[in-house]
């Protein structure tokens, strides 16, 4: 009975009138939209003036008040903590009314929190997508620089995590360059769909006032206006799509982190993530870089979670504005912050690393990497494909039994398996020739890789 009484007392200590606003308010996180909300409000003020709703004096007072609020926020660190409000839009309205009086209330004429909120959200996200794309471009540049620093470095390629045919280090770098190029293309596509003005949709049915929505769109840098007011305020597919594009970007960053962590391990020893010397400072730097890469790898799952959360929320929403939609903000805000810091971290680590070329070259030359070259050699000598494959398997078995690489076998030993093998086989089986043979577009032949590096560099320079 005593425990039950304590439970009742604890329950009674929760005050519903206080708990409910704290549960439904979004100002703690949507204040990120403060500047965007101010810019939207100024543009809408001009639209109300052009529509004859506001006098020139009223419009000037409102715009001056909004500018003053924005300026105050820049130097007053406690500005956002002065009074409890529901969301950033309520905050701006309250501060405006406090500053200029009832004239500030006229800014809400013909609009609503629904279209105001999504407009500020789109404006903010549009500019964050641009920042993310710039950071991804900087990472692409880091890959080009890493490739150029060690153009002739050779890595073993991998299939099923087993050593396979060799590739150039620069070719490996360009693989990630291409992944990031596609990531940026996806972000550009999302940007285009984000860059549509919903303002003027009001609660859902549109506005009664003669607002020139296309002029407002132009003033805010939007490329067009929404064509259906219900859709404009009730759908956040652009937020889902943005997080989805970032999830794929994080897949690529996670793969990069995993590669670098493996290559820096004692088992591989392919790269140095700190200085080359085993000093205390260099060892500390290596550990720090590995820690950072592991965090990048781990944060990918965070973004995947946001994507699932947004999809799950949106699949149940009815056709209208719902309070659930404010939950998009936190997921998108965190996605933006996470992706930006991960891109910066990856570029920083890549700029400070180097390939241990002797180690990687030796690894690339082991493991019968040139078995495919031997098979192709026999086919070019008019040996049927099936016979060529069987012959190579026999030679491989023999080489393994003798503990030799293919190019360490004598000509006589190889001719025991095929009379078509001649002295030119040794140039074919060399590491350099194996690379040079992959000379088609997209291959790892040095001439192709250097062409691809030049093309990649030009593509980035053309963006400037």
What is the value of pTM for the model shown?
0.89
pLDDT at 202: 82
Q: How far is CA 134 from CA 127, 339, 397, 460, in A?
A: 11, 12, 52, 11
pLDDT at 9: 47
pLDDT band, very low/low/confident/very high, at 427 (cuts 50, 70, 90): confident
The better pLDDT of the pair 425, 280 is held by 425
pLDDT at 108: 87
CA nearest 239: which of 333, 322, 175, 168? Answer: 333
pLDDT over 70 for what percent of the chain?
89
State the DSSP string of 69-103: HHHHHHH-TTGGGSS--SSHHHHHHHHHHHHHGGG
pLDDT band, very low/low/confident/very high, at 282 (cuts 50, 70, 90): low
Q: Is the pLDDT of residue 25 over 70?
A: no
Token pair recorded at residue 246 = 């970032």
H helical segments located in 213-316: 213-220, 229-234, 237-264, 280-314
Q: Is the pLDDT of residue 105 over 70?
A: yes
CA nearest 207: which of 120, 90, 117, 108? Answer: 108
Token pair recorded at residue 264 = 């820096």
**Cβ atoms of 139 and 343 closer than 8 Å:** yes
CA–CA separation, 110 and 52 (whole Å): 12
pLDDT at 2: 55
- Active site residues per annotation: 160, 281
Could you report the per-residue pLDDT of 120-134, keeping only the tens digit for each? Answer: 999 999 999 999 999
pLDDT at 73: 84
Instruction: Sketch out the chain's domains with CATH numbers.
Output: 16-109 (1.10.275.10), 114-363 (1.20.200.10), 367-461 (1.10.40.30)
Mean pLDDT of 79-84: 73
């Amino acid at each position: 009975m005593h425990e039950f009484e304590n439970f009742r007392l604890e329950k009674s200590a929760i005050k519903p009138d206080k708990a409910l606003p704290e549960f439904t308010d979004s100002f703690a996180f949507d204040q990120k939209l403060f500047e965007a909300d101010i810019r939207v409000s100024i543009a809408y003020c001009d639209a109300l003036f052009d529509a004859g709703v506001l006098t020139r004096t009223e419009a000037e007072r409102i715009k001056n008040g909004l500018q003053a609020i924005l300026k105050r926020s820049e130097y007053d660190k406690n500005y956002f903590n002065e009074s409890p409000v529901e969301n950033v839009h309520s905050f701006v309205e309250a501060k405006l009314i406090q500053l200029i009086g009832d004239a500030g209330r006229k800014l809400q004429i013909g609009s609503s929190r629904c279209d105001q909120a999504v407009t500020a959200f789109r404006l903010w996200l549009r500019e964050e997508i641009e920042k993310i794309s710039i950071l991804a471009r900087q990472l692409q540049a880091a890959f080009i620089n890493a490739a150029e620093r060690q153009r002739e470095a050779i890595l073993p390629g991998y299939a099923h995590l087993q050593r396979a045919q060799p590739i150039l280090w620069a070719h490996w770098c360009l693989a990630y360059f291409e992944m990031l190029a596609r990531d940026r293309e996806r972000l550009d596509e999302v940007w285009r769909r984000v860059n549509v003005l919903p303002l003027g949709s009001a609660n859902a049915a549109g506005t009664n006032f003669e607002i020139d929505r296309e002029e407002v769109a132009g003033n805010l840098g939007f490329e067009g206006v929404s064509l259906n007011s219900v859709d404009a305020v009730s759908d956040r597919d652009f937020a889902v799509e943005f997080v989805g594009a970032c999830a794929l970007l994080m897949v690529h960053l996670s793969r990069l982190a995993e590669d670098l962590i493996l290559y820096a391990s004692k088992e591989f020893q392919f790269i140095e993530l700190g200085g080359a010397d085993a000093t205390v400072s260099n060892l500390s730097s290596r550990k720090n870089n590995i820690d950072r890469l592991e965090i990048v790898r781990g944060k990918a799952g965070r973004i995947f979670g946001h994507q699932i959360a947004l999809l799950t929320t949106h699949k149940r929403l009815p056709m209208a504005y719902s309070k659930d939609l404010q939950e998009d903000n936190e997921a998108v805000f965190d996605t933006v912050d996470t992706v930006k810091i991960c891109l910066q971290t990856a570029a920083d680590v890549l700029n400070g690393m180097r390939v241990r070329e002797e180690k990687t070259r030796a690894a690339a030359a082991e493991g019968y990497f040139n078995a495919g070259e031997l098979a192709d050699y026999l086919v070019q000598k008019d040996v049927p494909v099936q016979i060529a494959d069987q012959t190579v398997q026999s030679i491989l078995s023999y080489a393994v039994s003798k503990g030799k690489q293919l190019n360490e076998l004598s000509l006589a030993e190889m001719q025991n398996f095929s009379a078509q093998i001649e002295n030119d086989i040794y140039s074919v089986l060399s590491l350099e020739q194996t690379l040079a043979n992959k000379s088609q577009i997209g291959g790892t032949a040095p001439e192709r890789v250097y062409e691809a590096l030049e093309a990649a560099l030009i593509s980035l320079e053309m963006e400037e």
